[in-house]
């Protein structure tokens, strides 16, 4: 078998270990990942090729194949629970370490944050080929041989730099977002990857990476996510791809989405303490025509108390269906119209704090609004007003029943640094 005849679906993945965790990987024949790379690890399917990078020694061990699809906590106590996104592996009979792994991965533009495409995987596999074995025989062995548990790890690391073919190559791979690390999130596009998440033409559509970040920070595969105002279905599409179970509702679902349940968010048809995450991207007032339903909260002005009273009904329902200790994410923006500013976010936040504790407040850069044009930017400068440049993402936590909510200040031992 020649490399060109390998299945189009062939993929590779790079897992990492340290000196302290490498032996456990080999003994258990198990690779694992933390949440940082969990979304990548959970995409591994049986038969994919795997490589193990020791970050301390900078050695890259291969060749391994995935013996199972990736799962959550195959061995719950492995690595003391630090790496729960796991896959069983089967090794070739002789595992060889390659020197200078970081330089090799950089040379091939391979990152741990995404799968390795077919051509780069083939290049990697070729580096492990014994010099006495022809290429055709090697790839036939890798794809047709039953890998076993009996294996040895070579004590002599192999150099890869003698191979002139190792060079940077452009190759399309599955796009997987990264977890945001600051409280400023800016998503240039509404969606990501090869499949659409929601409809970027839908009024008030949510950035898909925003939902992805909430899903991966606050839930695990198989958990229940609820979106009571899901619009064009962005939450539903993200959850399907990431292995979460989603209940998505809207008062007027798009006619082309049969998987969105028609329902008013002020009364969610789910039992108490049911959801692992609730996400709400609610109207910010009556500035957008969402639909023709007369009961739509988006027909009420955010300059009225009624608007916040109706949103509070959604808050109460979200609190009721959410499991204790779990998280609600709420996206909202302020309003400035006809020389009057309305702090919609602050007014909503005051209602949220009646029921939830605050985890954090994220600033979401606004990109898709119709006023983001040269004409409107010019008007804002000429007539001395500001266009809305961000939205709030309030991340709130439902307290456990025995938790006491207190405003007493904590005693903190600060570390002060010289400037």
> Residue 95: its pLDDT value, please?
94
Q: What is the pTM of this model?
A: 0.92
Residue 6 has pLDDT above 70, yes or no: no
User: Mean pLDDT, to the nearest integer, of 341-349?
Assistant: 98
> Residue 7: its pLDDT value, please?
59
Q: Where are the domains of the chain?
A: 3-153, 184-397
Give me the CATH topology for the region 184-397: Rossmann fold (3.40.50)
User: Mean pLDDT, to the nearest integer, of 170-196?
Assistant: 91
Buried b (16+ CB within 10 A) or exposed e, 166-175: beeeeeeeee
Average pLDDT of the chain is 92
User: Mean pLDDT, to the nearest integer, of 132-159?
Assistant: 85
Nearest to 116 by CA among 181, 198, 176: 176
| pLDDT tens column, 317-328 | 999 999 999 999
Give CA–CA dist 71/32, Å, rounded.
Answer: 10
Residue 145 has pLDDT above 90, yes or no: no
Give CA–CA dist 292/103, Å, rounded.
Answer: 58
> Residue 164: its pLDDT value, please?
47
| pLDDT tens column, 248-275 | 999 999 999 999 999 999 999 999 999 9
Does domain 3-153 fall into CATH 3.30.70.990?
A: no
Contacts of 239 (CB under 8 A, 6+ apart): 215, 225, 245, 246
User: Mean pLDDT, to the nearest integer, of 45-74?
Assistant: 96
What is the band of 57 on the pLDDT scale with cuts at 50, 70, 90?
very high
Fold equal for 3-153 and 184-397 = no
| pLDDT tens column, 363-404 | 999 987 777 788 989 999 999 999 999 999 999 999 998 887
């Amino acid at each position: 078998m020649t490399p060109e005849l390998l299945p189009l679906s062939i993929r590779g993945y790079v897992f990492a270990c340290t000196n302290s965790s490498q032996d456990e990987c080999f003994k258990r024949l198990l690779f694992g990942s933390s949440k940082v790379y969990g979304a990548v690890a959970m995409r591994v399917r049986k038969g994919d090729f795997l490589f193990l990078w020791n970050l301390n020694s900078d050695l890259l061990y291969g060749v391994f194949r995935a013996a199972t699809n990736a799962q959550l906590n195959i061995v719950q106590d492995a690595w003391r629970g630090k790496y729960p996104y796991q896959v069983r592996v089967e090794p070739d009979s002789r595992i060889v370490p390659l020197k200078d792994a970081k330089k090799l991965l950089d040379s091939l533009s391979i990152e741990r944050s995404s799968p390795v495409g077919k051509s780069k995987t083939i290049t990697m596999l070729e580096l492990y080929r014994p010099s006495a074995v022809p290429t055709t025989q090697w790839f036939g062995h890798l794809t047709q041989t039953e890998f076993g548990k009996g294996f040895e790890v070579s004590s002599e690391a192999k150099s890869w730099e003698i191979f002139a073919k190792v060079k940077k190559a452009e190759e399309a791979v599955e796009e997987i977002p990264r977890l945001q690390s600051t409280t400023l999130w800016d998503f240039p596009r509404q969606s990501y990857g090869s499949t659409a998440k929601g409809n970027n033409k839908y009024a008030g559509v949510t950035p898909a990476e925003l939902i992805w970040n909430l899903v991966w920070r606050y839930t695990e595969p198989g958990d229940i996510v609820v979106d009571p105002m899901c619009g064009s279905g962005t939450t539903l599409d993200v959850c399907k791809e990431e292995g979460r179970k989603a209940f998505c509702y809207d008062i007027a679902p798009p006619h082309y989405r049969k998987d969105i349940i028609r329902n008013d968010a002020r009364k969610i048809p789910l039992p108490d303490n049911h959801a692992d995450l609730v996400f709400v991207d609610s109207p910010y007032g009556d500035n957008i025509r969402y639909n023709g339903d007369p009961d739509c909260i988006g027909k009420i002005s955010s300059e009225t108390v009624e608007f916040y009273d109706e949103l509070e009904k959604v808050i109460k329902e979200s609190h009721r269906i959410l499991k204790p200790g779990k998280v609600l994410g709420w996206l909202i923006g302020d309003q400035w119209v006809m020389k009057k500013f309305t702090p919609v976010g602050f007014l909503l936040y005051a209602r949220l704090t009646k029921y939830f504790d605050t985890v954090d407040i994220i600033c979401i850069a606004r990109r898709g609004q119709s006023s983001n044009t040269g004409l409107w930017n010019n008007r804002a400068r000429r007539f001395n007003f500001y266009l809305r440049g961000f939205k709030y993402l309030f991340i709130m936590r439902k307290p456990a029943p025995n938790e006491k909510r207190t405003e007493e200040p904590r005693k903190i031992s600060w570390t002060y640094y010289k400037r």
